[in-house]
Amino acid sequence: MNDERGFSEFTRTAAARERLLSAVSPVERTERVDLRQADGRVVATAVDAERAVPHYQRAAMDGYAVRAADTFDANDRSPASLRVGDSVGRGQATRVHTGSELPEGANAVVMVEATERTGEDLAVFEAVPEGGNVAPVGEDVTAGQRLFDEGHVLRPSDLGLLKAVGLSTVEVYDRPRVSVVPTGEELVQTDPDPGEIIETNGQTVAQYVERWGGAATYRDVVTDDADALRAAIERDLDHDLVVTTGGSSVGERDIVPEVVASAGEVFVHGVALKPGHPVALGVVEDTPVLMLPGYPVACIVNAVQFLRPALGAAARRPLPAHPRTDAPLTQKLPSEPGVRTFARVELHDDGGDVRATPTRTKGAGVLSSVALADGWVEVPERREGYAEGDTVAVQDWEGTR
């Protein structure tokens, strides 16, 4: 596909993503972390239970610990008579609560509802078998039991189980380390003069990296100078990914792809998606480099489409699909054939019926159009948009981590 703006061809989104993923290597580094910091982390080595749960016989009900034989044939008309004390022997019972250790000599628990106590005398109206209302050792987990294999993504319930079997730490894969380098001589962090712009892309991308399971290094702004840009990229080749923002198109000051090509390889420059076709993908000394456009919306779209799956691959944990809301369109949503379009929409509850209203299909520099939208509609390359009334899938692309 030719383009008068200087791109000789555009790569389809899916093909560009696959090319990037082929350059991403799963992180091999591991670390041992406290269970309280392990939610969402990926298990690096198989985990076995160090002890059984429970590690003692325990009462499964509130009631009385007894010898099962002493309740034989007990019923409402002919209750068994036992004596309550501090130990359990023939004809004896002792009070227990759910979770209590089963006293020596006892082999069953009578529920308190099936008894009547007068002083130290206990009438039992229900026979219990041996082991009745008793949780045996290892009922939940046996000692040495395999709990999680390598590659398992830990959840809060998993971490509770690890604590229950006696662990306080767990070996996990290190988070992918991502260098985020904002570029552009017009960028400042605060108090812009005329012609200057507040730097937001790098900060936004760094925060997405953290949300998507990586560890971000948010660098200072680098000016549009080839030597400075190359030095900034080569400084961070010890990271798992390098991401630049800005300078990825084909204008006079868009020199980031040229710099990357001089140091390594650019295998994609220009992708058939809107907003954000001037994205570039490459590699320098085996470190993938993702060159995001400078317009804020284009930067975000490409971060979601390329950086997010790359982080998932590096972290060994494919990230979940975006939550979707199916809703009819309140107006036509146009799209260019052959280009994958991400159209920002707002959702409205019309008396219980949710409807979607397009807010933008253009305007790659209007950051508020993303921040204030409820999601976007992904229009595939084969379609020329959607008609008013068509039901579309609105992706809440910020609703997943």
- CA Rg value for the chain: 32
CATH code at 13-29+175-315: 3.40.980.10
pLDDT of residue 380: 93
pLDDT of residue 124: 97
Where, residue-wise, is CATH 2.40.340.10 in the chain?
324-395
**Cα 338 from Cα 48, distance rounded (Å):** 52
CATH class of 30-53+149-173: alpha beta
Domain 58-135 grouped into CATH 2.170.190.11? yes
Sign of torsion, CA 175 177 183 187? positive
**Cα 138 from Cα 118, distance rounded (Å):** 36
Where, residue-wise, is CATH 3.40.980.10 in the chain?
13-29+175-315
Where, residue-wise, is CATH 3.90.105.10 in the chain?
30-53+149-173
Are 46 and 178 within 8 A, CB to CB? Answer: no
pLDDT of residue 306: 97
CATH code at 324-395: 2.40.340.10
Pairing, β 63-66 against β 146-148? unpaired
Q: What is the DSSP string of 292-325?
A: E-SSHHHHHHHIIIIIHHHHHHHHT-PPPPPPEE
Where, residue-wise, is CATH 2.170.190.11 in the chain?
58-135
Residue ranges of the alpha helices (H) in 250-307? 256-263, 296-302
Residues of the chain where predicted confidence (pLDDT) is lower than 70: 1-6, 360-369, 400-401
242: enclosing H helix or E strand: strand 241-245
pLDDT of residue 3: 41
**Cα 28 from Cα 173, distance rounded (Å):** 7
pLDDT of residue 186: 87
User: What b/e string do you get for 151-185 counting C-beta neighbours within 10 Å, with b at 16 or more?
Assistant: ebbbeeebbebbeebebeebbbbbbbbbbbbbbbb
Who contacts 191 (Cβ-Cβ below 8 Å, separation ≥6)? Answer: none
Give the tens place of pLDDT for each residue, 269-299: 999 999 989 999 999 999 999 999 998 999 9
pLDDT of residue 195: 84
Q: Which two tokens stand for residue 371?
A: 């921040």
